[in-house]
Chains A and B, each alone.
Chain A
């Protein structure tokens, strides 16, 4: 368990700005650094057989308990970005489950360990239900309250828990020759299983969705990630193995009381392990747990614990946040990466020209697509106020199926708010939105995405710490568990994502972190991202804003080609030549209302439109783009 946990997982997360992208995730596995964790695992595995030093055996056992806790916490904190200060509660819950079941029902404590895991998972899922609507800070508070609440229950519910008197568990029945071996190997097995679960989650679409939630929860919802379900599943997953480890831990120390089992310092130790080792890495929590437990034992033996332990834990927590916010493994990784890529130019500045759309460009100006009269999207009397400002004030319009519809209007006319209302990022205060004949206002954003509504943002909102490929794999077309478990790193979903990246000309960048891309490149990736939803309607918020003319032209071509393949578009844009050359019909929004709609020619001549844009005294000498 050293800082060289160079797995494919870590490689994927950490590949930084200037790194040359290469599609060879297996490369890392062959690196000499892989030998280090392997040797460490072997050493831990054979240690009890080689040495009968119980001091270190005890230390490793406790390290493994905290490592399991930290690996679990990593799922919600590292992947999903929700800080929990109450993770230690699940150790206590597991221990109490085993303790109570053994005293009240009987049997071997081992039998009850899986029950402890299930119960912890179930309680964590309930916590997830409460947390469903709570963001960031409120969630932290919830976890503190949860920890103290279970401690209070354990203290006061005498009939069940024997209160502060605690529960004493039977001593182990095996021969003393075997020392703590059963505890040791049981915990090692649990640690292995929880690591495997963590690895698996990081590789599948569920894990991608969690990271998407961490990076930008509102945006994640618009690409079909049903955030409450993801969160509830993540909380349950984060607690199951911790509960089981807690059960083993309770049996191991043989005495369970509210002060010891729900001590907030257990939670601190788990958090510290995760932060120190490195969030969102596979081995970070394990590495951190071994270091912290060693520190803990040292402070107890050398300085008598108590206040010294508080000073060390508190001080270390503050220092890690201030000076090592990434943790050991990611920081080490960054150094190695920087050393390896000295003097190589970044890819982000490379010219986009020369990327061939496989001859698609030639065929990309199809005859005007068949626009049916059937409206795909209907908006009726939509309203949204911010205090006294009526941002959207009774807007009504329809987007015909198969069309490329433009939505134009002066600054502040409510275009982006309207997009937010249609996409579901914001709730309308009146009016209705129908999509494909179905009423969708009131549905959460991910449901709308599942129905076939995809949108991009004016200021791109990619998941910055994810690679380009991960960004495109993260969206969820429809919700079923099989798709959540689908492999996102290779396999069908990843292939699909690569095809879409190919379409927008960004395949070369698949392994580059999104934050390293230029604005124009981000727009292309965001387009590929929503295409992953296989949407019927694509809503683009200023696709041509702030990017170079060549790219504008290419985006126009892509829109035409996608339209020829049956996608309907609704585009907000200020670039008039772009809009008038591409779209039909054109809708005009002013002061939150649709004031005109028609063909580009009609719109250019409409006095109401000129008035809205320029004031009534102004007349264009010549229509724009004519």
Chain B
């Protein structure tokens, strides 16, 4: 029972971090209909920058979020305008291939800068745990999960309470309609992409403490995040949160009861099962396919 409870709590905590990372991916998909395959590479890049800051000036990885969020926001905005904006009208396949190319390119660059060895950020509390009864909860997991929830909540508030947030949601639901009421959908798309990358920045800083990483880790991360948004329903923010918590718990249960070597397979299974049984995911909706819009 303790074992189960421990796995459940740790799963939910890690799920919070996954939720933050997946929120950017699902937001970008919702507004732009772009599957950002480079999302994993962005988060690994953020993890490496966190690592460098920690090594150079001893900056705490969770505090590094304050630096990484604006940094990655700017990076995302520039990257969007330089690469994705020109193919906004191209078939959706183009953006998948483009972001896949960007992911590989970033992987190469990170390999050149930081080398292809495993890195991890180990702040002073990395080896400490909270003990509650028989439960051992590593401090890094607890802090990471809590910080992720704070960042995610502020993202949610931006999306629901600000004009930009309303513009983003309007652009996602009905781009033509948003354009008609004065939303510049192209600029909103650039900002959305930047916000998405910024959330990968914040999430990457947290993830750098929780998992060791190397440039090639981004494949595993993108697979995990894609599994989450497919499960939650592509484009749905609450769906991404639910999917992330499910995946976090399912991974920890797999580690506990089946074996850690199978844990990476959980998101792939999610994808297969969801596409077979409920292709639109938990919270996904089938939109009206209006003949007039084609």
Contacts and interface: CB of A to CB of B under 8 A. Distances in A.
Nearest to A311: B108
Interface in B263-280: 264-265, 267-269, 271-272, 275-276, 279
Nearest to A323: B86
Interface stretch (B88-96, B146-154, B200-208): B88-96
Interface stretch (A47-55, A314-322, A492-500): A314-322
A110 interface: no
B289 A218 contact: yes
A311 B101 CA distance: 9
A618 interface: no
Contacts of A317: 97-98, 100-101, 104
A141 B109 CA distance: 25
Interface stretch (A116-124, A142-150, A194-202, A359-367): A142-150
Contact of A275 (B90, B97, B268): B97
Contacts of A309: 108
Contacts of B292: 416, 458-459
A278 B36 CA distance: 24
A568 B286 CA distance: 33
A138 B96 CA distance: 11
Contacts of A306: 111, 116
A136 B227 contact: no
A83 B102 contact: no
B253 to A, nearest CB: 17
Given A310-B111, A317-B104, A133 B279 contact: yes
A85 B96 CA distance: 10
B54 interface: no
Contacts of A457: 291
A144 B223 contact: yes
A462 to B, nearest CB: 12
A325 B90 contact: yes
B132 to A, nearest CB: 34
Contacts of A321: 87, 90, 94, 97-98, 101
Nearest to A141: B226
A457 B57 CA distance: 65
A227 to B, nearest CB: 14
Nearest to B279: A133
A322 B275 contact: no
Nearest to A425: B289
A459 to B, nearest CB: 6
Interface residues of A, number: 53
B223 A145 contact: yes
Interface in B224-269: 226-227, 230, 234, 261-262, 264-265, 267-269
B254 to A, nearest CB: 12
B219 A148 contact: yes
Contacts of B97: 83, 271, 275, 317, 321
B106 interface: yes
Contacts of B264: 148, 152
Given A141-B35, A152-B264, A316 B101 contact: yes
Contacts of B268: 145-146, 148-149, 152
Contacts of B143: none
Contacts of A311: 104-105, 108-109, 112
A81 interface: yes
Contacts of A307: 108-109, 111-112, 116
A264 B104 CA distance: 10
Contacts of B83: 318, 322
A136 B261 contact: no
Contact of A322 (B87, B104, B219, B265): B87
A420 interface: yes
Contacts of A319: 101
Q: Which of A141, A146, A264, A457 has the most CB of B within 10 A?
A: A141
B294 interface: yes
A155 interface: yes
Interface string B93-129: 1101110111111111101100010000000000000
Contacts of B37: 85
B18 interface: no
B288 interface: yes
B271 A416 contact: no
Q: Which of B87, B98, B103, B271 has the most CB of A within 10 A?
A: B271
Contact of A130 (B101, B103, B272): B272
Q: Which of A137, A307, A308 has the most CB of B within 10 A?
A: A137
A141 B271 contact: yes
A277 B44 CA distance: 32
B3 to A, nearest CB: 22
A429 to B, nearest CB: 12
B29 interface: yes
A145 B289 contact: no
Given A85-B100, A136-B92, A145 B105 contact: no
Contacts of A83: 93, 96-97
B17 to A, nearest CB: 20
A93 B108 CA distance: 27
B105 A142 contact: no
Contacts of B101: 313-319, 321
Q: Which of B29, B105, B109 has the most CB of A within 10 A?
A: B105
B279 A138 contact: yes
Contacts of B93: 81, 83, 136, 140
Contacts of A425: 289
Contacts of A275: 97
A310 B107 contact: yes
A142 B271 contact: yes
A310 B107 CA distance: 7
Contact of B96 (A137, A155, A310): A137
A314 B262 contact: no
A152 B90 CA distance: 34
A150 B82 CA distance: 35
A264 B97 CA distance: 14
Contacts of A138: 230, 234, 275, 279
Interface in A564-610: none
A461 interface: yes
A305 to B, nearest CB: 11
A458 B290 CA distance: 11
Contact of A145 (B35, B98, B271): B271
B105 A134 contact: no
Given A136-B92, A152-B268, A218-B289, A314 B294 contact: no
A131 B272 CA distance: 9
Contact of A325 (B94, B112, B261): B94
Interface of B: 29, 33, 35, 37, 83, 86-87, 90, 92-94, 96-98, 100-109, 111-112, 116, 219-220, 222-223, 226-227, 230, 234, 261-262, 264-265, 267-269, 271-272, 275-276, 279, 288-289, 291-292, 294
Given A141-B271, A314-B106, A322-B86, 13 more contacts: A85-B37, A134-B275, A137-B96, A138-B234, A144-B222, A144-B226, A148-B268, A268-B104, A309-B108, A314-B102, A315-B105, A318-B83, A458-B292
13 contacts: A83-B97, A134-B275, A145-B271, A148-B264, A152-B268, A309-B108, A311-B112, A313-B101, A313-B104, A317-B97, A322-B87, A426-B289, A459-B294
Interface of A: 81, 83, 85, 130-131, 133-134, 136-138, 140-142, 144-146, 148-149, 152, 155-156, 216, 218, 264, 268, 271, 275, 306-311, 313-319, 321-322, 325, 386, 416, 420, 425-426, 457-459, 461, 541
Name the 4 nearest CB pairs between A and B, nearest first.
A314-B104, A317-B101, A314-B105, A310-B108
